[in-house]
Each structure stands twice: as structure tokens, then as C-alpha cells.
Amino acid sequence: AWKKHSIHGFTTKEQFENETVRHIETTLARSLFNCDELAAYSGAALAFRDRLVIEWNKTQQRQTFADQKRVYYLSLEFLMGRALDNAMLNVGLKDVARDGLKELGFRIEDVISQEHDAALGNGGLGRLAACFLDSMATLNYPAWGYGLRYRYGIFKQEIVDGYQVEIPDYWLDFNPWEFPRHDITVDIQFYGYVRKEINEDGKTVAIWEGGEIVDAVAFDVPIPGYGTSTTNNLRLWSSKASKGEFDFQKFNSGDYEASVGDQQRAETISAVLYPNDNLDRGKELRLKQQYFWCAASLYDIVRRFKKSKKPFSQFPEKVAIQLNDTHPTLAIVELQRILVDIEGLEWSEAWSIVQATFSYANHTVMPEALEKWSVPLMQNLLPRHLQIIYEVNMQFLQYVEKTFPKDRDMLSRVSIIEESNPKMVRMAYLATIGSHKVNGVAELHSDLIKTTIFKDFVTIYGPDKFTNVTNGITPRRWLHQANPKLSELIASKLGGYDFLTDLTKLNKLENFLDDEKFKKEWQAIKYDNKVRLARHIKETTGVTVNPKALFDIQVKRIHEYKRQQLNILGVIHRYLSIKAMNPEERKKLQPRVSIFGGKAAPGYWMAKTIIHLVCSVGEVVNNDKDVGDLLKVVYVEDYNVSKAEIIVPASDISEHISTAGTEASGTSNMKFVLNGGLIIGTCDGANIEITREISTDNIFLFGNLAEDVEDLRHAHTYGSFRLDADLARVFSAIKSNMFGDASRFSALCNSITDHGDYYLVSDDFNSYIKTHELVDEAYKDQTAWLEKCITSVARMGFFSSDRCIQEYADMIWNIEPLDPESS
Ligand code: 26Y
């Protein structure tokens, strides 16, 4: 009887138009007469949302019924970008929508660009989580994401007078992609004290009492797979004052303001994404965020498991929990607390369940990014959790002492508690001890963590606990959506779009290297993409760039280790060289546009100085009549996912030039190559594996190797080091106030000349400059360049996040897909 009531999504243009108009007129209560692009976006989004919801419900029912093991991906960041375009492509109805919108009087691109990015992340780690959700749904894995519903995502960046200014990103005004679940609310406790009690079985139990309660309310976001009806769930928690806690005393006694204040304090927990990337600041509110989110997610996961009435010994057969870096490490402690304090399991049985459930991915080796929490802070906020951490640590250290009795220093080295003042909880150690697998995100990085931060843990647990899963990107967003023309051209040669779900199929492109028509089309698409970016640059910065010039792009978070300073110092060197050339020499020079983009953490002064130097150099170079089109320098404001979709397809070359051994993987390197750009890079992170796949002929590598970094730093510290001569000239130019008041840049220059050059800018400067000369040379032979680009794309199959998720599923999570067609 229910069948005739079931809703069916639209499939034709007419149905799509009907649905869109219906939503505009009823859901939005707007008249079609004054329907602007925003209203058209809203109507179309709601029409597509209806379609997703139907499949989403079915998927959840199917997964519940099948009762297979699920994976829960815990991440404090999900950098999703826009959803409508992705939804249209994933359900295969973008053409229908394009035609329908056209009849309603709109261009689909204009409608799509009305959407506000969901920017709940900083950079690579958050975007990786978003790519993983896409792959998990596409591969039909029963998978949920758990995160926080920040009211303010990553700030919007404006460049004012050459400086970064941060504007709050309030993004929830109209968000059709989330569904509040007010019925799914979890009480989260903070502060208070722990009491011991003897229960009826004569067992001592810990009871955590007092403190305050905040409510976690679930908001669900549908995650459609590509070419499948599987639609997974991303659950984001929002904080709210607890009804039970709301202080009626204050309210009744007339202190209305104070009671509203409590309300606001509770809502603060999920108010804002911390804008630091690879930099730990140890703020109490951040720890509150972490516990709030871990506790709500664990409660939800355990509740779902308990519905099956299975014993907890089977928990790891039904549940895998993946930790995206150490940010969710408290989930380990929380599960142990639930099992022991609430469910009454024995400590050791509970701990085996915990270890079998969790796995931890590490995304950095840099000391300033490794999370540590002060013991007094944790004692105050989470007293029971600190006790559990101490107990875990004691048992672990007893085992270590027994197993390695000769190495007394080992105990203090591997202790979860660092004996500093104040004492600190080392989250990476806790995550490692509480998980059954630990992985790095590219081969070099996975090797490095085994010989540095986790060296002792390899000795203790053996090498099998540590593994590598090289990162990947979703070809749906990063090829098909961002570069539809290239995707279409590839499909025309490979006989369809199968490569989007099996990216290794791209290798057949190598058969067309002699196909002149194909190559011309490829080149024309790249040119169109550059024109599109040039237009964006003109509109947003006022600078005119020539799309025939070589586009050289570095877009990523601004960080000293990523070395945007190396890039801009190289640009200055180029500028000085142009100024010194005669007209004949200038004629032979390859014209270039140096494009920068990326946000600096608001409190990271050196990063902000780098932005200011780039803008100041642009000011001078772009207005120098001697230079003309030979060199332009632009800073693209507010780099984010939707900007990346315009920028990435438009590169000739992109820069991935971190100091060797510092960039765990990098993922934009993969995006640029997949879009037919070449890269200049160091032997770092995934650059190494990209080189192995596409061959050294197709990449411009330079610089010192990771294994030499330590010695080079030593040489800087002990004075046996001379500044590169070209770099010295660049510093002189800066000091002559060529780019404005030099004092603004002195800290940046001094970090290289006087303070040890920690990121080895001077050591790599010469080979960087020389390698850029090779780039210029190579670009002159457009035929050979084009062949390098096509060959590289053909060999990028390995870097699909589908391959990556497959590896996690098989080696770490031990889960099987659930095919929607088979049931
Ligand atoms: C501790 C806290 C402040 C913190 C917040 C964010 C620490 C780190 C981060 C973000 C780290 C991040 O984005 N890491 C990047 O992860 C990518 C995905 O694995 C890698 O490709 C990239 O090399 C790495 O820097």
C-alpha cells in the first residue's frame, strides 16, 4: 500500500523544471516574476536534494538491514566546497538541468556559482576527508562521516593594500544540503569530578558527576556516490544549551541576561573552525570541541550497535573507526570509558575492543603540528578521561619495561605523559597505542614517521602496525567537474566515462600521442581554461594577464615549510634579470604569469609577511613598462575549493616546493597533473610517487633530499655556510626599498640570512632558479610540452582516492562494499 505513495525523482527536463518552479513558489514562497539567479539556484538545489533524499533513505535502510561492518570517518574538517554541481554530475542529470535552467532563462554556470562553499576545513586534511566521502559512496562502502557543524567555516580572505584581512564566513543562511535532526540530541558532560563506588557485585566503579551539560544536535548531509544510488551520510554536530541545564533559577530571579549568556556559551563550542593548519595552539575551547564531537559520535555509534543486541566482543566486527590525524584521539578514551564505566566490561577486554576498532592516520611529522594537551587543562575539563589515560599509560609502560628491561630511557621517551612543566598528554602516542594500525599518507612520509616520531613504537609493536596509504583525489570533482571539456575529450577517445571510476583506464591515452587533431583539441582546452582564469584575475584584481604566457601557479595554505618565500624570491630574481637584459635578450624570454593564492593563519605573522611581499612585488612588476607581458605577479584572493576548480585546470606549471621531508603528501600536486599541467617540485611527499608513475622526464625536480636536511641545518647553525650569490642580490634589492619599505620584510629576510634558514631556502635557491630556466626552455617546444602533459595524465591512475579507499578498506578497516543492485 505504501508503494503508491513513494516519491520518484525527476528524470526529464520538464519534470526538473516543474520541481524547480514548485520549490521556488512554495518552499521559498517567491514569485517567478522576480526570480533571480539565487532563487534559481535555491529551487534547483531543492529539486536535486529531493532526489538525493530518496536514495539516501534507501541506502540507510539497506545498510541497517544488511548489518555489515561500517566505517566511521572522524574528522574535525570536511572541506566540501559546493554541492549542487557535484550532485548533478553524480546522479547523471547535469545535462537535463542545463536544458531546464536554460528554458527558465538561466545559464547553468551562473546558477551553480550562487552556492556558498561549505568551507569546514583549512586545507589538505579537510579536502582529503571530502574526497574520501565521495570515494566511499562511489565504491558503495557503508560509511559515515562525523564532524562538527561550525557556524563559521574558514574565514574569507580579502587583500587590502597588499595585506590579508580576515572576514567571518557565516555560511548557514540558506543551506539546503543539511537536515537538522532535533530528535537526535546527545547530552555531553564537561568538568565535574570522579567518585569511586563499590557496586552490588563488589566491584569498584568510577562515577563522573557534576560539571555542566551541553547538547549535541545532529545535522545530516547526504553524500551521493557517482554512478551508483548509494548515498551515504555525513553527520555534523551542533552545540546547544541543554534543556535540562538551562538555568531557570537565574531566569526566574529576573537575571534574563545571565541565562541567555549560558545559552550562548554552550553554542560557542561549535561556533568556529580553528583557522590553524599544521600549528597546535592548545586552546581550551578546541579541546572542548574535540571532546564534544567525539563523545556525541561515540554515543551514536554505540547506540546503533546496541540495537543489534550483539555482545560487545563483536563490536570490532561491526565497527571500524578511522581517526583523521590526532584531533579525534579522545574517541579512544571515550570508548574505553563507555565500555568500562557504563557497560561494565573488564578493563582488558574493553581495551582489546578499543584497539581492534580504531586506526589512526598521521598527516605530519613537524613538531609544531603535533598535538599535546596540558594535564591540568584536561584534569579540569575531563577528569575521568585523564584517569583512563594514566591507566592506559601505566599498563603500556609496564609492558615496555618488562619487554625492554635494558633500555631505561625508553620509558620516558614513549610515555603518553611528557614530564614537562606543565605535564603534557602526547596525543600521537595515545592514538598509536589505542589503534591497531597507524598509517602515513605517502611513502616517504610513512617511512619518515617510522624512523622519527614512532621509532620506539616500531620497536615495541613490530613494523606491521605501521603502514602506508598514499593519498588520492576524486576524479569526479577534480577532473569531470572542474574540467568538463577535458573530461569530455578524454571520454571521446576512450569510448566513454569509465575512467572516472577506474582511473587507471587513462593509460590508453598514450595511444593517441600521434593524433594531431586530439592534441590540438587538448591544447585548445588548456587555452580556454587559461582564458577563464585570466578573466577571473582581471575581475578580482584588475591585472591583465596574457593567456598565451606560461601560467606558473602556487596555491595552498601559506606556510614557511611550503616555501612560498622561495617562489617569490625566485620571481624577484627573474625581475632583476629582465631589468638587466637588452631588448634582444628580452625578446627571447618566455613570458610568465606567477600566480599565488592561499590563506595564512590569522596569528602567523611570517606567513602574512610572505603574502605582503608577493603583493608588493606584484605592485612594482605589474606596473613596470620595461617588463610588460614578460612577467606578471598576481595574488588570487580567498583561495578555496570553488576557486581551485577554476585555477587548477589553468596551470602550465604548478609549484610543490616544500623543504624535503616536511610535506606529508600534498594532494594539489595530483590535481594539477591530472588536469594536464606539469609540476616543479622537491623530492617530498607524493611528488616522489608522482615521479615514479609519470617518469622523471615529465616533472621538474630540484633541491636537496630529505636525508640531507639534518646536515644542512647543522651547517647553518655552526656557520659553515655561505648565502647563495643570486639570493644575496635579491635581498639587496628588497633592502633598497625596491618593493616599498624594506623594514616590513626584514623578519622574513633575516629568517634566511641570520636565523639558521630552517627551511633551507638558500640551499635550494640555485637549483630552483636553474630548474625554472629548464621550464622556460621546455615550454618553447610546445609539441614536446603537450606530449609530456598528455603522457602524465595517462599515468595518473594511481592517484584516485578510489584506489586509496580500497586500500584502507582491505588493509585497515576490513569492510566490504554493499552493492545497491544486489539486494
Ligand atoms: C593541531 C591542529 C592545529 C592542526 C590542524 C590542522 C594540525 C594540522 C592540521 C592540518 C593538517 C593538514 O592539512 N595536513 C595535510 O594533510 C594532507 C592530507 O593528508 C597532506 O597532503 C599534506 O601534506 C598535509 O600537510
For ligand 1, the distance from its centroid to the CA atom of residue 29, given in whole angstroms, is 43
| Count of Cβ atoms closer than 10 Å to residue 256 Cβ | 11
Q: Are residues 73 and 60 in the same domain?
A: no
Residue 380 domain-assigned?
Answer: no
Q: Which of 274, 277, 690 to mutate to test the pocket of ligand 1 (most atoms within 8 A of CB)?
A: 277
Backbone torsions φ then ψ of 514, nearest 5 degrees: -100, 0
Is any ligand 1 atom within 6 A of the Cβ of residue 471?
A: yes
Is any ligand 1 atom within 6 A of the Cβ of residue 610?
A: no
Q: Which of 78, 125, 154 to mutate to test the pocket of ligand 1 (most atoms within 8 A of CB)?
A: 125
| Nearest atom, ligand 1, residue 326 CA | 1
User: Percentage of residues in the chain with pLDDT exceeding 90?
Assistant: 93
Q: How confident is the model at residue 27 (pLDDT cuts 50, 70, 90)?
A: very high
Residue 683 domain-assigned?
Answer: yes
H helix runs in 67-197, sequence order:
84-90, 94-103, 108-112, 124-138
Q: Is 309 a residue of the active site? A: no
Residue 525 domain-assigned?
Answer: no
Distance CA(615)–CA(483), nearest Å, equals: 29
Is any ligand 1 atom within 6 A of the Cβ of residue 665?
A: yes
Which residue type, as a one-letter code, is found at position 516? E
Q: Are residues 269 and 333 in the same domain?
A: yes
Is any ligand 1 atom within 6 A of the Cβ of residue 668?
A: no
Instruction: Please give the sequence-ordered ranges of beta strands (E in DSSP) within 287-414, or none if there are none.
Output: 319-324, 358-361, 372-374
Our CA angle for 799, 802, 806, nearest 5°, is 110
* Own/partner long-range contacts of 28-34 (Cβ < 8 Å, ≥24 apart): none
Contact residues for 569 (Cβ-Cβ < 8 A; gap 6+): 727, 730, 761, 765
Q: Are residues 700 and 638 in the same domain?
A: yes
**What tens digit of pLDDT does each residue of 697-736 get?**
999 999 999 999 999 999 998 877 789 999 999 999 999 9
Is any ligand 1 atom within 6 A of the Cβ of residue 224?
A: no
CB of 63 closer than 8 Å to CB of 70: yes
The total number of structural domains in the chain stands at 3
CB of 803 closer than 8 Å to CB of 56: no
| Nearest atom, ligand 1, residue 557 CA | 13
| Count of Cβ atoms closer than 10 Å to residue 309 Cβ | 6
Q: Residue 33's pLDDT is what?
A: 87
Our CA angle for 124, 277, 119, nearest 5°, is 60
- The average pLDDT across 225-240 equals 98
- Cis (ω within 30 of 0) for the bond into 422? yes
| Count of Cβ atoms closer than 10 Å to residue 140 Cβ | 22
Q: Are residues 322 and 183 in the same domain?
A: yes
Average pLDDT, the chain: 96
Q: Which of 276, 364, 366, 562 to mutate to test the pocket of ligand 1 (most atoms within 8 A of CB)?
A: 364
For ligand 1, the distance from its centroid to the CA atom of residue 666, given in whole angstroms, is 9
Which residue among the candidates 230, 667, 682, 771 is catalytic per the annotation?
Answer: 667
For ligand 1, the distance from its centroid to the CA atom of residue 723, given in whole angstroms, is 31
For ligand 1, the distance from its centroid to the CA atom of residue 443, given in whole angstroms, is 16
Distance CA(629)–CA(592), nearest Å, equals: 7
| Count of Cβ atoms closer than 10 Å to residue 516 Cβ | 9
**What tens digit of pLDDT does each residue of 465-503 get?**
999 999 999 999 999 999 999 999 999 999 999 999 999
Among 361, 337, 516, 375, which residue's Cα sits nearest to residue 440?
361
Which residue among the candidates 23, 671, 772, 788 is catalytic per the annotation?
Answer: 671
Tracing cell 517567491 back to the chain, one arrives at 30
Residue 249 has pLDDT above 70, yes or no: no
* Domain extent for 769: 545-792
Residue 107 domain-assigned?
Answer: yes
Residue 413 domain-assigned?
Answer: no
- The average pLDDT across 746-767 equals 97
CB of 451 closer than 8 Å to CB of 365: no
Is any ligand 1 atom within 6 A of the Cβ of residue 23?
A: no
Backbone torsions φ then ψ of 555, nearest 5 degrees: -125, 120
Is any ligand 1 atom within 6 A of the Cβ of residue 76?
A: no
DSSP state of 320: E
- What 3-state class would DSSP assign to 146? strand
Distance CA(86)–CA(107), nearest Å, equals: 17
**What tens digit of pLDDT does each residue of 575-593 get?**
999 999 999 999 999 999 9
Q: Is 671 a residue of the active site? A: yes
By DSSP bridging, strand 231-241 and strand 212-224 are antiparallel
The residue whose C-alpha atom lies closest to atom 7 belonging to ligand 1 is: 278
CATH code, domain carrying 349: 3.40.50.2000
The residue whose C-alpha atom lies closest to atom 22 belonging to ligand 1 is: 666
Instruction: Please give the sequence-ordered ranges of beta strands (E in DSSP) within 363-409, or none if there are none.
Output: 372-374
Which residue among the candidates 98, 445, 562, 656 is catalytic per the annotation?
Answer: 562
**What tens digit of pLDDT does each residue of 204-219 get?**
999 999 999 999 999 9
E strand or H helix at 802: helix 801-807
Which residue type, as a one-letter code, is found at position 668? S
- What 3-state class would DSSP assign to 163? strand
Residue 410 domain-assigned?
Answer: no
Q: Is 455 a residue of the active site? A: no
Q: Is 544 a residue of the active site? A: no
**What tens digit of pLDDT does each residue of 282-325 get?**
999 999 999 999 999 999 999 999 999 999 999 999 999 999 99
DSSP state of 800: B
Is any ligand 1 atom within 6 A of the Cβ of residue 365?
A: no
- The average pLDDT across 539-545 equals 98
Q: Are residues 112 and 179 in the same domain?
A: no
- The average pLDDT across 647-674 equals 98
Q: Which of 78, 132, 154, 278 to mutate to test the pocket of ligand 1 (most atoms within 8 A of CB)?
A: 278
Q: How far is CA 76 from CA 87, 179, 251, in A?
A: 23, 19, 35
Cell numbers that stand for 487 in this block: 573530461
- What 3-state class would DSSP assign to 677? coil
Q: Residue 2's pLDDT is what?
A: 46
Q: Are residues 226 and 301 in the same domain?
A: yes
The residue whose C-alpha atom lies closest to atom 12 belonging to ligand 1 is: 125
Q: Is 556 a residue of the active site? A: yes
Q: Are residues 234 and 357 in the same domain?
A: yes
Task: For residue 392, list its beta bridge partners.
Answer: none
Q: Write the DSSP assignment of 621-641 as a string of letters.
A: HHT-TTTGGGEEEEEESS--H
Q: Is 587 a residue of the active site? A: no
Is any ligand 1 atom within 6 A of the Cβ of residue 326?
A: no
| Count of Cβ atoms closer than 10 Å to residue 423 Cβ | 16
Is any ligand 1 atom within 6 A of the Cβ of residue 278?
A: yes
Which residue among the candidates 557, 599, 656, 713 is catalytic per the annotation?
Answer: 557
Is any ligand 1 atom within 6 A of the Cβ of residue 677?
A: no
CB of 237 closer than 8 Å to CB of 301: no
Is any ligand 1 atom within 6 A of the Cβ of residue 59?
A: no
Q: Are residues 131 and 93 in the same domain?
A: no
Distance CA(505)–CA(501), nearest Å, equals: 9
Is any ligand 1 atom within 6 A of the Cβ of residue 66?
A: no
CB of 656 closer than 8 Å to CB of 663: yes
| Count of Cβ atoms closer than 10 Å to residue 87 Cβ | 24
Q: Are residues 153 and 96 in the same domain?
A: no
Is any ligand 1 atom within 6 A of the Cβ of residue 684?
A: no
Residue 209 domain-assigned?
Answer: yes
Q: Are residues 111 and 175 in the same domain?
A: no
For ligand 1, the distance from its centroid to the CA atom of residue 515, given in whole angstroms, is 42
Q: Residue 246's pLDDT is what?
A: 53
Residue 259 has pLDDT above 80, yes or no: no
Residue 576 domain-assigned?
Answer: yes
Q: Are residues 3 and 149 in the same domain?
A: no
Q: Are residues 608 and 679 in the same domain?
A: yes
Cell numbers that stand for 702 in this block: 630540484
